[in-house]
Amino acid sequence: MKLIFSHLKIPQVNFFIIQDKNLNDSNNLKIICDQIVKKLNFPLFIKPANSGSSIGISKVINKYDIFGALQKAWTIDHRIIVEEGLEVKELEVGIIGNRNLIASEVGEVNYTSDWYDYDSKYETNNKIIIPANINTSLREKIQTLSIQSCMALNINIFARVDFFLEKGTNKIYLNEINTIPGFTTNSMFPLLWQSSGLEIDELVARLIEYSL
């Protein structure tokens, strides 16, 4: 995903990819750690490429914690993504459609923890703001990037596209695409579409229609 988006000039935070490396080998670990420190600025987020709910992700603020974070991610997936951490707001948009994709209103998740980890997703009271407090130009840019990124990866029917809005610069970065977003009455995906004029029963009917 990240390589495709880089080719298409879709904005992302600086990243480093690890794959086809045995991280049980201490020599490999040392080489990779040196590469990460040389390429990226702290703080870092070290993530397994495949996971959900922030499981296996670590925030790293110095080079001495890279080893443990890499090994933690490696237990989940042998492909690992390392990203630079920025001071950001978390923005999300829903996508539905088949051949023609439609973007929902943009929402913001406001959390009180240091970063949006597993506990903050499920064990604290986050504030969901829909529509997000952003200007029209920024909202339209996010919606356009959401559709463009899903089309690039051949994603349709439904998805949730997550963005970072850097505080201070208002720069937008695409974080990831969630191809199976949460679908409870309190989940962001149906709330985004409710704010866009589709109640959950109509939304489900639309998704069934697209699938058939």
CATH class belonging to 88-211: alpha beta
Least Cα distance to 92 among 111, 70, 64, 73 occurs for 111
Q: What's CA 117's distance to the chain center, in Å?
A: 12
- Give pLDDT, residue 51: 74
Q: Are 75 and 56 in contact (CB under 8 A)?
A: yes
Mean pLDDT per segment of 10 residues, for the chain of length 212 residues?
95 93 82 92 92 80 90 90 94 96 95 56 72 95 97 96 95 95 87 96 96 92
In the prediction, which pLDDT does 56 show?
86
For residue 205, what pLDDT is reported? 97
- Residue 122 has a pLDDT of 54
User: The pTM is what?
Assistant: 0.87
Measure the CA–CA gap between 6 and 2, rounded to whole angstroms.
6
Hey, where are the domains in the chain? 2-84, 88-211
| Cβ(188)–Cβ(160) below 8 Å | yes
18 burial (CB, 10 Å; 0-12 / 13-18 / 19+) is: buried
The reported pLDDT for the residue numbered 192 is 97
Topology of the domain comprising 2-84 = Dna Ligase; domain 1 (3.30.1490)
Instruction: Specify the pLDDT at position 125.
Output: 67
Q: Do 2-84 and 88-211 agree at the fold level?
A: no
Whole-number Å distance between alpha carbons of 61 and 43: 5
Contact (CB, 8 A) for 73 and 58? yes
The pLDDT value recorded for residue 103 is 98
